[in-house]
Structure 1
């Protein structure tokens, strides 16, 4: 024990008189100071956004050329948001808050996840894990999102400002948060009916993807009802096909999500098809996030036709 004590005392004494230890100590202090400063800026940012709505103070944290980047997984392209758009969204939220509308939000950084790295003297990277909560009027907080973030900070004239943030590994249903019902794995009641409807789906969207308008018309019922959660209701077969020819033909490709189709018989009528699909626009990168669709196929006069469609995005 005495020997160990003497060695430790010697090391402390040696460090106190060498320039190497002095430099290390100085660097550690600078790193700790930077960590605290960026941590405080992080806290201020979300106080301005969710609590004080001090929009005019955001410029003390964000650079004027700030860009927010949202990761959409391996399948889809990253979505950028400009400074002006980011601020506009915050202002909308604050307006709703002043009118006592909308949902109150709270954000926290997972304890121990925050890290800061110096890239150069004037560039730093900050990473961490964050959680977002909705807060009821009674004060009950519900976790609704968990994600990782990576920020680039730049120092100009002695002031650190954020120039980019990337949110990734975004989980909108963190484990243990939701008690939402999860159904058992789908098993077709009739293999033959399932195969028939899957083939009908393939035939119809071959006409959609390849501009086969005559075949599309043959597969579409004269009394078609097409419900779209963005575009509303269309009940004219002629208008529906004309719209597809004008806006979709040669421009948009539909992609069926693998193994997503479920088929249920409707005795005396036909069958209902439920599934997920995405779309690729030839003028845009990537493809849309998979969305749900419901199709009623009617079997009449020995012919299958699409009679009702519900398209949800």
Structure 2
């Protein structure tokens, strides 16, 4: 019998830095056989393009949370299929809106179909050092991610002061007093957790996830053929970001293709060698379909060319 695959779940709210951390982990494990299941809420996958590399097994599951009844069978099936790839590690990056409370039930389902092929090594939760204290007040998902994790990693610590860091740790401890807590800047982390028993921090039973078809947020994809000015695109994003959980994608600007990433009030542009005909932004709405009209109004007030929204 072949050795079990070490399975890690990567959680954390939208924009916490999961993909950056995962990219660094994958680079440092380049000599190992590694698989990734990438889960995004949008109809198109953005992060899969960022982490994709030769020889890596990548499965993308979009249009919702892998813990919701609408997608959990897809998630289980992906794990069943990847079990035949003789992987050393499988990393599952869940959507930032995912509530992983029922992960145990899903793993039990995989085991009943495929046998004892995975060693669940635990959930690593990225905690957004800049935005967490506000997020946790209003979003049950953020609290659930902390409650059901085995290692909490506070990201962006280079952007916060010691007092804020202390408050974040206090809040994490109130939700989960067993979890180990690490910090990171720029997605760099000591990978000693790969050798540790994170599951010793397991203290809470599985429970029903809050991810349901009824609670699924509205996700829109904006597409545009052509090139825009960065300042004008920033003006457009500033008009709609207050009504958005997250905005991300790839856009052709005057200096070439850029990866666009919006978290809270911060708009980040990174040049990329992506070279396609169509620019795309995925917008996850806080206000449901009511965001459609503000998006069109903001676009038409700034740009002459037409975009498409679906």
TM-score above 0.5:
no
Q: TM-score range by the shorter chain?
A: under 0.3
TM-score normalised per structure 2: 0.20
TM-score normalised per structure 1: 0.20
> Higher Cα Rg: structure 1 or 2?
1
Identify, as 1 or 2, the structure richer in strand.
1
